[in-house]
């Protein structure tokens, strides 16, 4: 241990390389470094320390036009009941790199909602919204991803990427009818990704003939370079057809 205050330790750590997450001087990395170097426990952190660490995780100001995905693509630390939890889009809510129970994760995420809302509101361009929506889908945040995808589609109704992203999110939310509806107005397109997600949704609702037609379109428009999803879906649809 040391007689220095945690604030002084933080100041000193910011002047030297971190042993982990080198160069990433956010609250998460600093908490990890303090605890590993000086064997600090959550009780060692005062409310002032916690506020200071939280400030290091706040989204940075950005120039107009620059993507701002620090919270969507990055990580942050949340203090609750004297314990520091880590949140990341890929790993969810963890404590010491171990997933926490769902009930506790829900409470941690509730504390992050104002930050999420501010982050989403800062996204304005269609490609930013689509990129963020896809990341959120991968992280299992379907409701948040749906909102961003719908905003992107409202700004650019002809965007096949936005329609495909929204359709895939609706499938993930177990709403295949909505997924199909999103693609209905684009059935004259030649985009293999859109046809793939449409085929999957059609299969979900038992429209196997339509699904087979859609998957054939996806193969035709893939120009010999089908995606892994298209390969997998083709086998499923073929298997469904042979059992009928």
Residue extents of the structural domains in the chain:
1-56, 123-244
Q: How confident is the model at residue 3 (pLDDT cuts 50, 70, 90)?
A: very low
Handedness of CA 22, 23, 28, 31 (dihedral sign): positive
Q: Would you say residue 173 has pLDDT above 60? A: yes
C-alpha dist (Å) from residue 75 to 57, 63, 115, 146:
8, 21, 12, 21
pLDDT given for residue 76 in this prediction: 75
- Of 3.30.930.10, 3.30.870.10, 1.25.40.10, 3.20.20.370, the CATH number of 123-244 is 1.25.40.10
Place of tokens 């100041």: 11
Q: How confident is the model at residue 113 (pLDDT cuts 50, 70, 90)?
A: confident
Q: How confident is the model at residue 199 (pLDDT cuts 50, 70, 90)?
A: very high
Helix (H) or strand (E) run with residue 8 in it? helix 6-13
Question: What's this model's pTM, rounded to 2 decimal places?
Answer: 0.63
| Weakest-pLDDT range from 13-17, 33-37, 232-236 | 13-17
């Amino acid at each position: 241990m040391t007689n220095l205050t945690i604030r002084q330790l933080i100041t000193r750590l910011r002047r030297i390389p971190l042993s982990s997450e080198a160069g990433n001087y956010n609250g998460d990395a600093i908490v990890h470094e303090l605890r590993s170097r000086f064997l600090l426990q959550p009780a060692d952190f005062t409310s002032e320390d916690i506020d200071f660490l939280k400030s290091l995780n706040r989204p940075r100001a950005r120039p107009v036009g620059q993507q701002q995905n620090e919270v969507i693509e990055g990580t942050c630390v949340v203090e609750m009941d004297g314990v520091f939890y880590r949140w990341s889009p890929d790993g969810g809510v963890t404590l010491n790199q171990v997933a926490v129970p769902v009930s506790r994760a829900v409470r941690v995420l509730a504390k992050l909602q104002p930050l999420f809302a501010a982050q989403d509101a800062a996204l304005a361009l269609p490609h930013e919204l689509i990129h963020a929506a896809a990341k959120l889908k991968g992280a299992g945040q379907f409701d948040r991803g749906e909102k961003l995808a719908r905003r992107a589609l409202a700004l650019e109704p002809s965007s096949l990427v936005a329609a495909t992203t929204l359709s895939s999110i609706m499938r993930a939310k177990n709403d295949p009818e909505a997924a199909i509806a999103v693609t209905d107005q684009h059935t004259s397109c030649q985009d293999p990704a859109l046809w793939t997600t449409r085929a999957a949704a059609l299969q979900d609702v038992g429209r196997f003939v339509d699904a087979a037609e859609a998957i054939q379109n996806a193969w035709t428009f893939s120009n010999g370079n089908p995606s892994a999803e298209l390969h997998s879906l083709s086998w499923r649809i073929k298997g469904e057809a042979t059992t009928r």
